[in-house]
Structure 1
Amino acid sequence: MGFVKQAIAAFAASLPVFIAGSWLTWPSVALYKWQTKEYVLPFTLDESQSSWVVATMDLGNILSPVPTGYIMDKLGRKNTLLLTSLVFLASSLLTIFAQSFYWLLLARLLAGIGKGVGFTVVPMYIAEITDKEIRGTLSTMFTGHLYGGVLFSLCVGPYIQYQTLNIILGVVPLVFFITFMFIPETPYFFIIKNNDQDGARKSLEWFRGKSQSIDEELDEIVVTTNDNMKNKSGYKELVLNYSYRKALIIVLVSSFLQRLSGVSTILSYASTTLPEHHGFIGRNECLIIFSVLLVITNFACSPLVDIAGRKTLNMLSALLSSVVMLVMAAAFYWDLDYWVSYLFTSLFGITYSLGIGIIPTTLLSELFPPNVKGSAASVASIAFAMASFLINKFYKIVQINLGLYSMFLFYAICSFVHVLFTIFAIFETKGKSFQEIQNILKKREVTQSNEYILNDK
């Protein structure tokens, strides 16, 4: 029963990520409908303005994580997530009633803010409510919902009216608000806020069911959280503290390289940049296959996170993604048949979600103690957003001036760098408690301290 409730809570908490995923691929659908005059905007957009509409969501994502880290430590993880429903609803309304280019920019900015909040809070919420034995599995709910949102926009969007899609994207936040109201706050937040052990116990009993192990787990949460909260918290500590700094480097580099794998531009631009084909499988159908494979692979590989381990999956995924992008670059350089780029775009849905699409988020939820977890999540979310913004904004510029193949060659190189980084910098966290992970991060720090003592003697 405990697993079921934890799974339900993780599913409900991840709905803002589903909405964010839908808004991520909304430009791919919208740009196609605008260019084909299927929907005529009451104003005109040139190429530069269109690229800003795509990229502004990432700007909103950059702006939101820092205040989100503060808000979720004051209001709680649950209440902070509930606020995203209002942000996404406002984004939808602005899109529906847009009267100028700036209305769309504001709508995309708000969608990015909602995405930033979701990307910051959801991994932490899931990590703080789940047993360590299933933490890796349930953490894939995050990416599962993200890909589900991607799948929704790409599968449903092309076949319904433009405004119908916008209305649906306004209804889902309301469904989330009503659903998530009945899910408890995390036990960790009760201890962080007021050392409220009664509240933490009730939360644990809801997520685990009443059992003797509740007392043992509560004691561990209290001791671990209070010990960590004695340490200084904030962004400064992420840099000054050795173990925090090491964890931050692992998460930031993994997050940045994940975005530089090419997934952002495929989600946003593929419907207008893939070779056009009017047969049974066209560009829209290729994107549907890509997004379906993202979702299926994510859920099929969820158990592997806790079986094969984070490091192995990330390394294999990055290597295969590098090969796929290299073939894509060759296809665009030599202008190969349309089916080559269609096939390898679809294969990228598998290679990406096998590891590099899910592991950075899992590591974010595992590597940091409660006193700096909010700050770390904020910085990681900014890294995701900055990489996506740069790629989405300059994609068209590079395509026009250097050729499309050059972008995919760049993606291949970045994924291979991700392989090397995984081998030499990431350690395995499978099956380890938060305290065990912190002990691993502190090992070198302790060794260095001992060396200094010996040298002094």
Structure 2
Amino acid sequence: MTVKTSVTDIFRGTFPQLFAAVSGTLFAISDGMTVGWTAPMIPYLISEESHIKTTRHEAEWLETALLVGAFCGLPTTMFFTERIGRKKSLLLASFIVLFAWLAIALGNNMIYIFVARFFCGIAGNMAFVAAPMYIAEIADQKIRGFLSSIIYLMMLAGCLIVYCIGPFTPFYTAPILGICIALTELLVFSFVPESPYYLLYKNKPEQARKSLEHFRSTVAVDKEMKEISDAIDRQKTEKGRIQDLFIIDSNRKALLIMTVLNAGQNFCGIGVIMMNLHLILSEAGSIYLDEATTGILFAVIMLVSATGASLQLDKYGRKLLLITSAILTGTCLLIIALYFNLKYDGYNVISVSWIPIVSVMLYAVTFKIGLGIVPIVVTAEVFPAKMKAIGMTIADAMYVVWGIIALQVYQWLYMYGLHVSFYLFAVCSYLLAGFTQWYIPETKGKSLEEIQQILKGRKFSEVISAPTA
């Protein structure tokens, strides 16, 4: 009974925030479908039954087109999130992906598919920068962690959907569903207010008050309005230039946190395992699982685990989940490495060939309870208002870059045995746990301005009591 009361207290009066977070991140379902789309569709496209003649080489470029689009979209992401705002950037991303899915559904040539996925990359980059910014700026600090994690849950749901429908339905089914999701966000999210932080930053105090009153429907907003206004005034003294990420100490610390977390996510092996799951199980000599079943099971476990973690972010905090996740993930990777090491050395491991399957599925759980969800929440919290667009965009780019590096390292080490890469990933997981413990501040239950003062090495009470100039 106590737990129920506690949960009720946490979510009381937050429905407008929850509605905005859900409606504003519907795009992520479509984005998850875009990311996972190639897994079930490439076998179809290169088959004799394909309605578009596709070579294996062309099919391999489908993922690259998405990444190239994400990189090319970096300047537009920074421009639009600052110039037109977080809300309109999300709507623009949905508008772009609407036409991209339409091109995929109607295209009769691979050129249309490549161009569509290129623009999906641009839209995905914009949405995954704008959405965490928007949510962090509208959310009550008691549920900010949960709301910030919704976009990641939406993306995992999208992956699961395309894994479920892709192998069993006609080619045009996924694009039609993607179009419907984009249309729903355009129709529903258009009626949600812009972030009060952004409106105050653009010197629109009346609109900012109305926005805050909408999101804090059950409480007075005078005190919070003043806090936000004071925070914006202080943060405006710091120029929003790229070099300020390196010149200003708090920005530099935020950049380091973001860099290590993004590198850590990838060097804990998530991209390698997701893209090479069947190869790993095949080399392990484990029991047979068909590709469709394996993909669905892995996606279900990730979604369930991430959902559970999102509900605990504001209860146990970011650091505890991140450290626990890193240690347990490292242990799973170490067990996999030991198995492949024994197999590589010629030992008979058939009797324990279930170990890789169990370890990989446990990995899906342990990674998603922290490593898979906390970094996107923390990254949205550690940059000041003036630097959010630049910082979040660079964070998004770095995730892609580190993902490519991790894959290249894996492919290079593969010649020395599969176990070598897993030993490296295990060590990186343990190192990330240590970095989190000693360097990353706990942001649970703290305002965005208080987080900035912690990064500056000051107590928030000192800032509040300090006389203003």
Query: TM (normalized to structure 1)?
Result: 0.88
Distance 1:392-1:102 versus aligned 2 partners, 3 A rule? farther
> Residues 263-298 of structure 1, C-alpha deviation per residue, up to 9 Å, x if partnerless?
224434435664399989533222212211222122
State the 1:242 CA deviation: 0.7
Show the counterpart of 1:435.
449
8 Å contact from structure 2 (residues 30, 178) kept in 1: yes
Show the counterpart of 2:252.
245
State the 1:23 CA deviation: 1.2
Does residue 232 of the first structure (1) align with residue 239 of the second (2)?
Answer: yes
Show the counterpart of 1:417.
431
> Residues 314-333 of structure 1, C-alpha deviation per residue, up to 9 Å, x if partnerless?
11111111222233344455
Distance 1:265-1:280 versus aligned 2 partners, 3 A rule? closer
Q: Show structure 2 runs of 5+ residues with no match.
A: 1-11, 460-469
Distance 1:95-1:330 versus aligned 2 partners, 3 A rule? farther
After superposition, the CA RMSD in angstroms is: 2.7
Show the counterpart of 2:96.
87
State the 1:247 CA deviation: 0.9
- The whole-number CA distance in structure 2 between the counterparts of 1:170 and 1:402 is 45
Distance 1:107-1:332 versus aligned 2 partners, 3 A rule? farther
Distance 1:221-1:349 versus aligned 2 partners, 3 A rule? same
Does residue 203 of the first structure (1) align with residue 211 of the second (2)?
Answer: yes
8 Å contact from structure 1 (residues 326, 408) kept in 2: yes
8 Å contact from structure 1 (residues 27, 268) kept in 2: no
State the 1:25 CA deviation: 1.3
8 Å contact from structure 2 (residues 263, 399) kept in 1: yes
- State the AA in 1 paired with 2:446: K
- The whole-number CA distance in structure 1 between the counterparts of 2:43 and 2:402 is 24
- State the AA in 2 paired with 1:369: P
Query: Per the alignment, in what secondary structure is the counterpart of residue 20 of structure 1?
Result: helix
Show the counterpart of 1:69.
78
8 Å contact from structure 2 (residues 148, 377) kept in 1: yes
Query: Per the alignment, in what secondary structure is the counterpart of residue 360 of structure 2?
Result: helix
Q: Show structure 1 runs of 5+ residues with no match.
A: 446-457
- State the AA in 2 paired with 1:25: G
8 Å contact from structure 1 (residues 52, 393) kept in 2: no
8 Å contact from structure 2 (residues 13, 218) kept in 1: no
Does residue 116 of the first structure (1) align with residue 130 of the second (2)?
Answer: no
Does residue 387 of the first structure (1) align with residue 402 of the second (2)?
Answer: yes
Distance 1:301-1:278 versus aligned 2 partners, 3 A rule? closer
Show the counterpart of 2:324.
316
Show the counterpart of 1:327.
335
> Residues 364-388 of structure 1, C-alpha deviation per residue, up to 9 Å, x if partnerless?
1211111111111011011111123
State the 1:125 CA deviation: 0.6
- The whole-number CA distance in structure 2 between the counterparts of 1:162 and 1:66 is 33
- State the AA in 1 paired with 2:85: G
- The whole-number CA distance in structure 2 between the counterparts of 1:359 and 1:4 is 23
State the 1:41 CA deviation: 3.4
Query: TM (normalized to structure 2)?
Result: 0.86
Show the counterpart of 2:390.
375
Does residue 259 of the first structure (1) align with residue 266 of the second (2)?
Answer: yes
Show the counterpart of 1:342.
357
Greater relative CO (CA pairs within 8 A, separation 6+): 1
Aligned counterparts, 1:163-312, within 5 A: 163-193=172-202, 195-209=203-217, 211-212=219-220, 214-270=221-277, 274-275=281-282, 281-312=289-320
